[in-house]
């Protein structure tokens, strides 16, 4: 009997930790704050001081994001001495790997980093179908859309109209957090990507745009 009660308590606690956050959201007919691409529709380039921590190893350097043409982006990560670590191209829904060092050139890891960058580029935003929600404190306008087997939740702060966070969830369980902070001229100077199911963290700190 004691074991049964203990098991029930653990199950309830586990469920509350993973499902309670989304379970408290209230569905709305429309969005009370619009969702806009982080980088805007047209830009030249952004330069970030970047740190990628993967399975306990740190890789620091510079990441440049450049718009080659509408819906076509080049993302290059180098050391501060200029050695290229990876070079990606995103064009519409196509992805091209131009270069990658062996440390990152592992199929699963490479796919995760690719998806992370696609998430912040928000290249296919106008092709998505959204549902809209509000949190219990009425702080955010939340836009939910399908991303393959995952759900993406975009939290737009109602007072500032800034996108504050993106959450990847699978079966309503958070997998990845994208936190955007320190907005300057409507652009987040700091972007933190934290994975919960693998040991991967990406920190982007704006240097120049």
Q: What is the pLDDT of residues 138-197, one digit of tens each?
A: 899 999 998 888 899 999 999 999 999 999 998 778 899 999 999 998 999 999 999 998
Give the model's pLDDT for residue 124.
Answer: 82
Given this structure, which CATH class describes domain 25-208? Answer: mainly beta
Diameter of the chain by CA atoms?
65
Match 């809209």 to its residue by tokens.
132
User: Mind giving me the DSSP string for 69-83?
Assistant: ETTEEEEEEE-TT--
- Kindly state the helix (H) or strand (E) to which residue 13 belongs, with its residue range: helix 2-23
Distances (CA, A) of 126 to 22, 137, 164: 24, 28, 19
Spatial CB neighbours of 68, under 8 Å, sequence gap ≥ 6: 74, 89
Q: Is the dihedral of CA 152, 41, 48, 74 positive or negative?
A: positive
Give the model's pLDDT for residue 126.
Answer: 82
Beta strands per DSSP E along the chain: 26-28, 45-54, 57-69, 72-78, 84-91, 94-100, 131-134, 140-147, 150-157, 163-170, 173-184, 187-195, 200-208
Give, for all 209 residues of the chain, the pLDDT tens digit: 545 444 444 444 444 444 456 878 999 999 989 999 999 877 789 999 999 999 989 999 999 999 998 889 999 999 999 899 999 999 987 999 999 999 999 999 999 999 999 999 998 888 889 999 998 888 999 999 988 888 999 999 999 999 999 999 987 788 999 999 999 989 999 999 999 989 999 999 999 77
Of 38, 33, 63, nearest in space to 141 by CA: 33
What span, in angstroms and rounded, lies between the C-alpha atoms of 25 and 143?
Answer: 11
Give the model's pLDDT for residue 90.
Answer: 95
What span, in angstroms and rounded, lies between the C-alpha atoms of 104 and 26?
Answer: 40
Give the model's pLDDT for residue 192.
Answer: 98
What span, in angstroms and rounded, lies between the C-alpha atoms of 9 and 203?
Answer: 37
Q: Please answer whether residues 163 and 36 qualify as being in contact, where contact means their C-beta atoms are separated by less than 8 angstroms.
A: yes
Under DSSP, the state recorded for 129 is: -
Give the model's pLDDT for residue 129.
Answer: 92
Strand pairing report for 187-195 and 173-184 = antiparallel
Give the model's pLDDT for residue 10.
Answer: 44
Task: Show me where the domains of the chain are located.
Answer: 25-208
Q: Please answer whether residues 21 and 133 qualify as being in contact, where contact means their C-beta atoms are separated by less than 8 angstroms.
A: no
User: Is the pTM of the predicted complex or chain greater than 0.85?
Assistant: yes
- pLDDT mean across residues, the chain: 88
């Amino acid at each position: 009997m004691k074991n049964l009660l203990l098991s029930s308590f653990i199950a309830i606690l586990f469920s509350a930790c993973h499902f309670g956050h989304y379970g408290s959201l209230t569905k709305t007919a429309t969005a009370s704050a619009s969702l806009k691409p982080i980088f805007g529709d047209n830009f030249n380039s952004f330069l970030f001081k970047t740190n990628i921590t993967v399975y306990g190893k740190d890789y620091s350097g510079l990441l440049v994001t450049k718009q080659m043409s509408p819906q076509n982006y080049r993302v290059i990560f180098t050391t501060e001495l200029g050695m290229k670590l990876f070079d990606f191209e995103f064009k519409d829904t196509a992805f091209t790997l131009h270069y990658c060092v062996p440390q990152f050139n592992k199929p699963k890891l490479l796919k995760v980093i690719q998806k992370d960058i696609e998430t912040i580029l928000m290249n296919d935003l106008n092709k998505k179908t959204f549902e809209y929600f509000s949190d219990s404190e009425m702080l955010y306008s939340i836009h939910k859309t399908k991303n393959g087997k995952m759900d993406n939740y975009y939290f737009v702060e109602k007072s500032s109209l800034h996108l504050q966070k993106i959450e990847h969830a699978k079966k309503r369980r958070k997998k990845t957090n994208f936190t955007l902070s320190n907005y300057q001229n409507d652009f987040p100077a700091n972007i933190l990507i934290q994975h919960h199911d693998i040991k991967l963290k990406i920190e982007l700190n704006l240097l120049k745009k």
